[in-house]
Amino acid sequence: MTNSIILVYFVLSLNSRHLAHAELTTEPVNLAVEPGEEATFTCVWADDSNSTKQALLRWSVLRTTDSNVTTSSGPGTNADSEITLTNSSRVQILDGKITIQNVTFADAGMYHCRDDSGSEPAQSELIVYDMPSYVREIGIIAGVAAALLLVLVVGLICQARREKRIRSAQADKGNKKPYSSLIEREY
């Protein structure tokens, strides 16, 4: 009977050590998207030993409000609020994976993945940025480039005409005609 007690103790000791070393990780650690895009984070155990418990993972988001926003803490204060996430029309959570469709600026924050075993939560940061549109700037640059090209072409045409007149004047100097022939041409 003493042998079976030792065996049970050994099994319990192994299991408790195994649970203590279970570590959650998320991928990607940081994700930056534009508004309207989709964001996906995946949470797994680092040693993949608890892959059957993926459905037990919970997601939450920690958001820090801007100091310019009035919150329940009062105007001009920073307030951290952690919100447990559930499935909705834009958020789908399934087997440790969270997908946020049509991301908005309000979705930015630190996303935490937790389980019930007491493991440290894993976290990933979602950054939502507004990529500036350069359409107007490109139009301005194209317009300036077209204007400069037009000035260059007109300048080249004027220079060609000037050179033609100079050559013509030099040719006329070489063929000096009497004054009377110039007058006849005018009439």
Given a cut of 80, is residue 15 above it in pLDDT? no
Name the one residue in this structure whose structure tokens are 């000037």. 162
Given a cut of 50, is residue 36 above it in pLDDT? yes
Tell me the DSSP string of 11-63: HHHHHHHHHHT--EEEESSEEEE-TTS-EEEEEEETT-TTGGGGGG-EEEEEE
Is the pTM higher than 0.85? The answer reads no
8-state DSSP, 113: E
Residue-wise pLDDT for 71-90, tens only, equals: 344 444 445 677 888 888 99
Strands 122-128 and 30-33: parallel
Least Cα distance to 185 among 171, 172, 174, 167 occurs for 172
Residue-wise pLDDT for 92-145, tens only, equals: 998 889 999 999 999 999 999 988 777 788 999 999 998 877 878 888 999 999
Given a cut of 90, is residue 34 above it in pLDDT? yes
What is the per-residue pLDDT for 177?
57
* 3-class secondary-structure state, position 178: coil
Half-sphere exposure of residue 37, counting CA atoms within 13 Å on the CB side?
15
